Structure 1
Amino acid sequence: MNAPIIDPLQGDFPEVIEEYLEHGIMKCISFNRRGTLLAAGCSDGSCVVWDFETRGIAKELRDKDCVAAITSVCWSKNGHQILVSAADKSLCLWDVVKGEKIFRTTVHQTPLQARLHPGGGSSESTLCLVCPFSSAPMIVDLRNETTTMLPISLSDKGSGLAPPSRNKFSDGAAHFTPTAACFNKYGDLVYVGNSVGEILIINHKDNRVRGVVPISGNAVIKTIVFSRDGRYLLTNSSDRTIRIYDNLLPLKDSLKALDEIHEPTNEVETLKAVGLKCLSLFREFQDSITRVHWKAPCFSGDGEWVVGGSASKGEHKIYIWDRAGHLVKILEGPKEALMDLAWHPVHPIVVSVSLAGLVYIWAKDYTENWSAFAPDFKELEENEEYVEREDEFDLMPESEKVKESETNEDDEVDIITVEKDSAFSDSDISQDELCFLPADPCPDVPEQDKHAGSTSKLGDSKNSDSPLSEETAVDGRAMNHDSNQIEGNLCSILALQFHRLRFSRRLENSGAEDTAGVTHLKRRRKPSEKVLELQQAQKVRKPLQKAKAAASSGKSSKTKTKFGIEQEHDMNHFADENGIDD
């Protein structure tokens, strides 16, 4: 599809399922920063990296120590590392190109979500924010294997914070609602949404709450996420409402801007006053008719659209709003629950994960509209006969020719420098960014190996990529023995059928009945003596009539030989004996 002939008034949001990806049972997905690679965590503990341009598997990261389901995947800013959290309480940082583990650690609670620090510096490349199942969010340093618990509420005395102790949650005695948290654009602040309807703005370096933003209704915050440009914050609450906040702090040096804000005397009121200067409610999204719960809401790549999946069981619906709050599209997929959702960083493409483990790719259904770009262009509903003008193809004089472009053909063309993408404001930071993985072609199999493989056991067939290939390989000998036995039985059955066919034909020719008495063949009746005499007379009459006809013509009397006279005498004698009239 050519981009210049696409109508710009159609809206840049997906409409139909373009394709689906299948590899095991996938649970969660994440795009890299450029949208060229898609990582998917599977239920068997592996992480699959898809080349999103070719829709092919570029890399498979499998940890032999992890067999539990993957709960989240997160790319580093330069795309060289992937952070994977699993249900066995493990965190693993992978080198994508080499396919090797860099760091692996375990936490005291099952991590529902893990996010790498977006700064990408050398001292911050191993920091990650983990949201466990039943404890407060934590900052984990994968290199030093240290854990820092973040505060999730203000203290009753109003002293500012209530950072939970590590031992309090290590045994799992305290029960908490899963708490959502995320870094801001440059990672100097952490925004935590707690179970009492508050957004805490925390400096994770000194573990202090710097601002509080209360949410109307005091509902539990289930999801909190920033847009790619860092200008908007999205929250998903248990009151079935998605809220969008304006980020009033500068994108860079947000912590320094917090220090410059004037603070009142009261501690609690101070934090709330600072919070009002950090976030401002912009819009609320909800379905007032069906009142559905939302799952995995997020922004589009440019922040112009808000998308959220329905959390209802048995349906795969995706709602798309514009930032002004208007519902523009409802995407209805198969009758499978939605597990995860992601919007492509650059293109109007949404990728969703179903309960069955399939990844559906939703894209726009483009229609060509040439007249939208050329007002004098006329679109025809059907073919029309065109009558050319008399001078339409005449050669124009030299004076009326269009002047050729003054392009110096000797100038060198730069094919090395890559232009910066306008969709990325800080693209100059990641010069060594990983956008594509090198191809790893499979070597050709020699012809001898092909023939040897075709006669080998069933487990080594070309269907070895199927889920049953491992079991087939283990039971290869038994299956080979069974196949030989089946082959021998088949030959016996064919031989028995052949003998039955010959026996039935023999019975049919002889006019006998079937020995089983089930089917009766038609019996041939023996002709009587009178019928046999008539048939014999008919055979004699025809040559006799021909001979008499030849004799009457006068030709045969002249050329009759001794053999002919004897034959005629025999025929007459046979006719007289049988009483046949000439």
Structure 2
Amino acid sequence: MNTSILDPLYGGFPEVIEEYLELEHGIMKCIAFNSRGTLLAAGCNDGSCVIWDFLTRGVAKELRDNECSSPITSICWSKCGNRILVSAVDKSLSLWDVLSGKRIRRIVLQQTPLQARLHPAGSSKSSLCLACPLSCTPMIVDLNTEDTTFLKVSVSEKPSGPNPASRNKCSDGSTSFTPTAACFSRYGNLVYVGNSKGKILIIDTKDGEVRGMVPISGGSVVKSIVFSRNGQYLLTNSNDRIIRIYENLLPPKDEIRALDELNENLSDLNGVEKLKAIGSKCLTLFREFQDAITKVHWKAPCFSCDGEWVIGGSASKGEHKIYIWDRAGHLVKILEGPKEALTDLAWHPVRPIVVSVALNGTAYIWANDYTESWSAFAPDFKELEENEEYVEREDEFDLNPETEKVKGSDVDEDEEIDIMTVEKDHAFSDSDMSQEELWFLPVSPIPDVPEPQDKFLESSSKLVDSNNSESTFSEEAVTNRHKMNHASSPVEDDAVGTRIKRNRKPSEKVLELQAEKVNNSKSSKSSRTNTKSLVDENARNGFYYDELSDE
């Protein structure tokens, strides 16, 4: 998609429901766009994954596994778009090859993963993923070797396994743990973990060590955490019904080096105080968003494609509301959909389009209420309410060489134009523009089912006779007429053959042409008869002509 040729007026935020997507079988639970926004993947309640071509709004491919029939909890694209990671209620993680539709790897965890994200590496061979289980600490899983590294959720604890020490115990003896949110940084060097004690931990991906800590005001449980596309801002959704935006102060590509320098500069501090000091140099609170009147909980909050807008869905039952704020903190729009609970949200990577999923499995596409304004393209353009007659001046389009000179073109016609080099698009600055990147899925055309010809032969055929009346012929009569008129009337033969193939009645225009042809034939025959009788009568009377004309 070339963003340089997009309409500059097509911006801002969505306003109305443009279209909706619905499956004949299955209910969509979660959605995710690829990096280009050309494909939309949806995880269903029957364990399948449906990929929509977002430009044609048609299903391009379906990924289905006989071993997995449980509802999908999350879905994630790889950076190049060739692979999809799916987590399900049956505690499984499945990695799919999108182009071939085959499953590459499937592993089963000890807890149900609520969310799973692939490492944001440019290579399609990256097998690391970040999983956030229901009752366990976040973990980094190598899908090839099935090695699991549990991350710390508190600076006072060591990495906890599947059954960490916690506050409550279940009836079966296993420990209960509050679900913890986590996400990779833009390039995957760090993992940001929001724990149940209202703190954001900055963890090194390689060794799993906590490098910094940022306390959240109020100390409420962090339910979700997500980065903006450019990695400049971090969003957290807490249990206190407040969405917080933090500005990332670390350089995107040199995060580890910057943390090492901060560690050396703060060598006089130790323990938690040092981690808090480092965390204050990494993240700073930018904005807070909440509904002070209704105090609603938020569902699936995220950034817009350019990070200028923040959206959050209402978690209240029976309502489909999407709140949109600008980055300054002002509420600019509330989108109200049907009276159905909202389950997931996704903002298009390029356009101001939002896709929301309802509880019944329908995906609604929200877009701009776009109206054409031609005066915006030319300041001197005047819009007319109705057509007016324009009187042209005599010399309006004359070219006077004395006063006006035709400027020559500055384009060098001998210059070679490079049509092979692809320039890097700033809208996809987080992509490597790899040759292996998958933009679209090839779709094989499905031929129409041929209509059976026996129905026409078995049923009576209605043709137009010379009197423009309908007569019924049997199968044998139609066949004989088709053979007899082949040499004399190929037009009628082709017409009959076409009607047999398509099983359609002749149109009104064809009937008129046939009737006109019959009338002309009648008049021509009558004229010949009258001429012949006149010649015979004149011959009997002794009058002869050298030449007779039928006309």
TM-score (norm 2): 0.76
The 5 A counterparts of 1:531-546 are: none
Measured after TM superposition, the shift of residue 149 of structure 1 is 1.1
Provide the secondary structure at the position in 2 that maps to 1:201. strand
Question: Paired residue for 1:253?
Answer: 254
Measured after TM superposition, the shift of residue 296 of structure 1 is 0.3
Distance, in Å, in 2 between the alignment partners of 1:230 and 1:430 is 20
Provide the secondary structure at the position in 1 that maps to 2:96. strand
Question: Paired residue for 1:576?
Answer: none
Distance, in Å, in 2 between the alignment partners of 1:5 and 1:105 is 42
Amino acid across the alignment from 2:446: C
What is the CA RMSD across the aligned residues, in angstroms? 2.5
The 5 A counterparts of 1:163-182 are: 163-166=159-162, 168=164, 173-182=174-183
Q: Is residue 211–residue 275 contact of structure 2 (8 Å, CA) maintained in 1? A: yes
Distance, in Å, in 1 between the alignment partners of 2:18 and 2:298 is 24
Distance, in Å, in 1 between the alignment partners of 2:206 and 2:396 is 76
Listed one character per residue, the Cα deviations across residues 70-112 of structure 1 (whole Å, up to 9, x for unaligned) are 1111000000000000111110000000100111001011111
Measured after TM superposition, the shift of residue 413 of structure 1 is 4.0
Provide the secondary structure at the position in 1 that maps to 2:366. strand
Relative to 1, partners in 2 of residues 1:450 and 1:102: Cα closer, same or farther, differing over 3 Å? farther
Relative to 1, partners in 2 of residues 1:12 and 1:126: Cα closer, same or farther, differing over 3 Å? same
Q: Is residue 6–residue 367 contact of structure 1 (8 Å, CA) maintained in 2? A: no
1:110 aligns to 2:106 (yes or no): no
Distance, in Å, in 2 between the alignment partners of 1:330 and 1:450 is 58
Question: Paired residue for 1:544?
Answer: none
Provide the secondary structure at the position in 1 that maps to 2:211. strand
Could you tell which deviates more after superposition, 333-342 or 424-433?
424-433
1:362 aligns to 2:366 (yes or no): yes
Distance, in Å, in 2 between the alignment partners of 1:179 and 1:101 is 28
Amino acid across the alignment from 1:108: Q
Question: Paired residue for 1:230?
Answer: 231
Structure 1 or 2: more helix by fraction: 1
Amino acid across the alignment from 1:17: I
1:17 aligns to 2:13 (yes or no): no
Question: Paired residue for 2:39?
Answer: 37
Listed one character per residue, the Cα deviations across residues 244-282 of structure 1 (whole Å, up to 9, x for unaligned) are 000000000211211110234221101111110110000
Question: Paired residue for 1:536?
Answer: none
Identify the match of residue 282 of structure 1 among 263, 282, 286.
286
Distance, in Å, in 2 between the alignment partners of 1:41 and 1:350 is 17
Structure (1 or 2) with the larger CA radius of gyration: 1
Measured after TM superposition, the shift of residue 450 of structure 1 is 10
Q: Is residue 78–residue 124 contact of structure 2 (8 Å, CA) maintained in 1? A: no
1:70 aligns to 2:66 (yes or no): no
Question: Paired residue for 2:422?
Answer: 418
Question: Paired residue for 2:100?
Answer: 98
Measured after TM superposition, the shift of residue 283 of structure 1 is 0.5
Relative to 1, partners in 2 of residues 1:74 and 1:442: Cα closer, same or farther, differing over 3 Å? same
Measured after TM superposition, the shift of residue 7 of structure 1 is 7.1
Measured after TM superposition, the shift of residue 442 of structure 1 is 2.4
Distance, in Å, in 1 between the alignment partners of 2:177 and 2:46 is 28
Listed one character per residue, the Cα deviations across residues 171-227 of structure 1 (whole Å, up to 9, x for unaligned) are 871111111000000101100001110000011321211111000000111010000
Q: Is residue 232–residue 244 contact of structure 1 (8 Å, CA) maintained in 2? A: yes
Relative to 1, partners in 2 of residues 1:359 and 1:450: Cα closer, same or farther, differing over 3 Å? farther
Question: Paired residue for 1:377?
Answer: 381
Q: Is residue 342–residue 352 contact of structure 1 (8 Å, CA) maintained in 2? A: yes
Distance, in Å, in 2 between the alignment partners of 1:5 and 1:266 is 53
Question: Paired residue for 2:545?
Answer: none
The 5 A counterparts of 1:217-366 are: 217-261=218-262, 262-263=265-266, 264-366=268-370
Q: Is residue 150–residue 204 contact of structure 1 (8 Å, CA) maintained in 2? A: no
Distance, in Å, in 1 between the alignment partners of 2:431 and 2:374 is 34
Measured after TM superposition, the shift of residue 371 of structure 1 is 2.6
Relative to 1, partners in 2 of residues 1:258 and 1:5: Cα closer, same or farther, differing over 3 Å? closer
Measured after TM superposition, the shift of residue 408 of structure 1 is 4.2
1:48 aligns to 2:50 (yes or no): yes
Listed one character per residue, the Cα deviations across residues 424-466 of structure 1 (whole Å, up to 9, x for unaligned) are 2244453321001111222454556998xxxxxxxxxxxxxxx
Listed one character per residue, the Cα deviations across residues 386-423 of structure 1 (whole Å, up to 9, x for unaligned) are 33323224454476342242434454444333332111
Question: Paired residue for 1:523?
Answer: none
Identify the match of residue 63 of structure 2 among 61, 64, 67.
61
Structure 2 unmatched runs, 5+: 456-551
Distance, in Å, in 1 between the alignment partners of 2:124 and 2:205 is 17
Amino acid across the alignment from 1:245: Y
Relative to 1, partners in 2 of residues 1:241 and 1:409: Cα closer, same or farther, differing over 3 Å? same
Provide the secondary structure at the position in 2 that maps to 1:139. strand
Q: Is residue 421–residue 427 contact of structure 1 (8 Å, CA) maintained in 2? A: no
Q: Is residue 94–residue 105 contact of structure 2 (8 Å, CA) maintained in 1? A: yes
Distance, in Å, in 2 between the alignment partners of 1:413 and 1:296 is 46
Distance, in Å, in 1 between the alignment partners of 2:173 and 2:382 is 71
Identify the match of residue 435 of structure 2 among 408, 431, 435.
431
Distance, in Å, in 1 between the alignment partners of 2:7 and 2:145 is 52
Amino acid across the alignment from 1:246: E
Distance, in Å, in 1 between the alignment partners of 2:99 and 2:180 is 33
Question: Paired residue for 1:528?
Answer: none
Question: Paired residue for 2:84?
Answer: 82
Relative to 1, partners in 2 of residues 1:138 and 1:309: Cα closer, same or farther, differing over 3 Å? same
Q: How many matched pairs?
A: 444
Amino acid across the alignment from 2:22: E
Could you tell which deviates more after superposition, 199-208 or 257-266?
257-266
Distance, in Å, in 2 between the alignment partners of 1:7 and 1:196 is 45
Measured after TM superposition, the shift of residue 3 of structure 1 is 9.7
* Identity across the alignment (%): 71
Q: Is residue 37–residue 54 contact of structure 2 (8 Å, CA) maintained in 1? A: yes
Provide the secondary structure at the position in 2 that maps to 1:330. strand
Provide the secondary structure at the position in 2 that maps to 1:400. coil
Q: Is residue 122–residue 432 contact of structure 2 (8 Å, CA) maintained in 1? A: no
Amino acid across the alignment from 1:52: F
Listed one character per residue, the Cα deviations across residues 552-572 of structure 1 (whole Å, up to 9, x for unaligned) are xxxxxxxxxxxxxxxxxxxxx
The 5 A counterparts of 1:491-510 are: none
Question: Paired residue for 2:199?
Answer: 198
1:212 aligns to 2:213 (yes or no): yes
